[in-house]
Structure 1
Amino acid sequence: MTSLLFVGGGSIGHIAPAVAVARALTKLHPSLTVHFVCSMREEDEAFLLKEGIHPTCLDAPRLSFGFPWKFYRAYRRSLTLLDTLHPKAIFSKGGYVSLPVCFAAHGMSIPIILHESDAVSGYANRLVARWAADICLGFPDSAKRKIQPHITGNPVRPGVDVGNRTEGLRLTGLSGNRPILLVMGGSQGAEALNAFIRTHIDELLAFCDIIHLTGPGKTGVQERRTGYWTRAFAHEEIRHLYAASTLALSRAGASAIAELGANGIPSVLVPLRGAAHDHQCANASKAKESGGCMIIQQRDMERTLLPKLRSLALDSALLQTMGTKMRTLTSPDAALQIAKVIARHLAPDE
Structure 2
Amino acid sequence: MGKKIVLTGGGTAGHVTANIALLPYLKEKGYEIIYIGSYDGIEKRLISDYDVKYYGVATGKFRRYFDPKNFSDPFRVLKGFKEARKILKEEKPDVLFSKGGFVSVPVVNAAARLGIPCILHESDLTPGLANKLCVHAAEKICCNFPETVNHLPARKAVLTGTPIRDELLLGNAMAGKKFCGFEDNKPVLMVIGGSLGAQSVNEVVRNALPQILPYFNVIHICGKEKVDNLRLDVPGYKQFEYVKAELKDLFALSDIVLSRAGANSICELLALHKPNILVPLSAKVSRGDQILNAKSFEQQGFSMVVQSEDFDETVLVKKIHELYESRDRFAAKMSGSNQRNAAKTIVKLIEEATK
Compute the TM-score of the two structures, normalised by the length of structure 1: 0.93
Aligned equivalents of 2:193, 2:51: Cα separation in 1: 25
Residues 9 and 43, structure 2, Cα contact 8 Å, conserved in 1: no
Aligned residues, how many? 342
Question: For residue 300 of structure 2, what is the amino acid of its counterpart?
Answer: S
Residues 169 and 176, structure 1, Cα contact 8 Å, conserved in 2: no
Q: Is 1:263–2:272 an aligned residue pair? A: yes
Larger displacement relative to structure 2 (141-150 or 210-219):
141-150
Q: Is 1:198–2:206 an aligned residue pair? A: yes
Aligned equivalents of 2:184, 2:162: Cα separation in 1: 30
* Deviation per residue, 1:164-211 (Å, 9 max, x gap): 111111111124621110001111111111111221111111221100
Offset, 1:50: 1.6
- Match of residue 123 from structure 1: 129
Q: How does 1:148-227 map to 2 (within 5 A)?
A: 148-175=156-183, 177-220=185-228, 222-223=230-231, 224-227=233-236
* Deviation per residue, 1:66-98 (Å, 9 max, x gap): 122111111110110110110111101111101
Task: Give me the identity figure in percent.
Answer: 30
- Match of residue 52 from structure 1: 51
Q: Is 1:21–2:31 an aligned residue pair? A: no
Offset, 1:277: 2.6
* Deviation per residue, 1:149-172 (Å, 9 max, x gap): 211111112211110111111111
Distance 1:107 1:130, change over 3 A: same
Residues 96 and 108, structure 2, Cα contact 8 Å, conserved in 1: yes
Q: Say what the alpha-carbon RMSD is for the aligned residues.
A: 1.7
Residues 262 and 329, structure 1, Cα contact 8 Å, conserved in 2: no
Q: Is 1:278–2:288 an aligned residue pair? A: yes
* Deviation per residue, 1:131-154 (Å, 9 max, x gap): 111111111122141524211111
Q: How does 1:317-328 map to 2 (within 5 A)?
A: 318-327=326-335
Aligned equivalents of 2:338, 2:261: Cα separation in 1: 14
Offset, 1:18: 0.9
Q: Is 1:238–2:238 an aligned residue pair? A: no
Question: For residue 43 of structure 2, what is the amino acid of its counterpart?
Answer: D
Aligned equivalents of 1:39, 1:298: Cα separation in 2: 30
Instruction: Look up the SS of the partner of 2:151 in the other structure.
Output: coil
Instruction: Look up the SS of the partner of 1:187 in the other structure.
Output: coil
Question: For residue 245 of structure 1, what is the amino acid of its counterpart?
Answer: S
Alignment equivalent of 1:295, drawn from 305, 311, 327? 305
Alignment equivalent of 2:319, drawn from 308, 328, 337? 308
Aligned equivalents of 1:240, 1:338: Cα separation in 2: 27
Q: Is 1:134–2:140 an aligned residue pair? A: yes
Residues 121 and 277, structure 1, Cα contact 8 Å, conserved in 2: no
Offset, 1:272: 0.7
Residues 7 and 101, structure 1, Cα contact 8 Å, conserved in 2: yes
Distance 1:12 1:329, change over 3 A: farther
Q: Is 1:93–2:94 an aligned residue pair? A: no
The structure showing larger relative contact order (alpha-carbon pairs under 8 Å, at least 6 residues apart) is 1
Residues 155 and 334, structure 1, Cα contact 8 Å, conserved in 2: yes
Residue ranges of structure 1 left out of the alignment (5+ in a row) = none
Aligned equivalents of 1:329, 1:279: Cα separation in 2: 22
* Deviation per residue, 1:13-72 (Å, 9 max, x gap): 011101112321222x22x21101122344321111123334212221013221221111
Offset, 1:260: 1.2
Q: How does 1:243-254 map to 2 (within 5 A)?
A: 243-254=252-263
Q: How does 1:48-87 map to 2 (within 5 A)?
A: 48-63=47-62, 64-87=70-93
Larger displacement relative to structure 2 (48-57 or 253-262):
48-57
- Match of residue 43 from structure 1: 42
Aligned equivalents of 1:228, 1:329: Cα separation in 2: 32
Instruction: Look up the SS of the partner of 1:62 in the other structure.
Output: coil
Offset, 1:276: 5.2
Aligned equivalents of 1:235, 1:150: Cα separation in 2: 30
Distance 1:84 1:329, change over 3 A: farther
* Deviation per residue, 1:86-127 (Å, 9 max, x gap): 011110111110100111111111111011111111111112
Residue ranges of structure 2 left out of the alignment (5+ in a row) = 63-69
Question: For residue 204 of structure 2, what is the amino acid of its counterpart?
Answer: F
Offset, 1:328: 5.0
Residues 176 and 249, structure 2, Cα contact 8 Å, conserved in 1: yes
Offset, 1:221: 6.3
Instruction: Look up the SS of the partner of 2:230 in the other structure.
Output: coil
Residues 189 and 216, structure 2, Cα contact 8 Å, conserved in 1: yes
Compute the TM-score of the two structures, normalised by the length of structure 2: 0.92
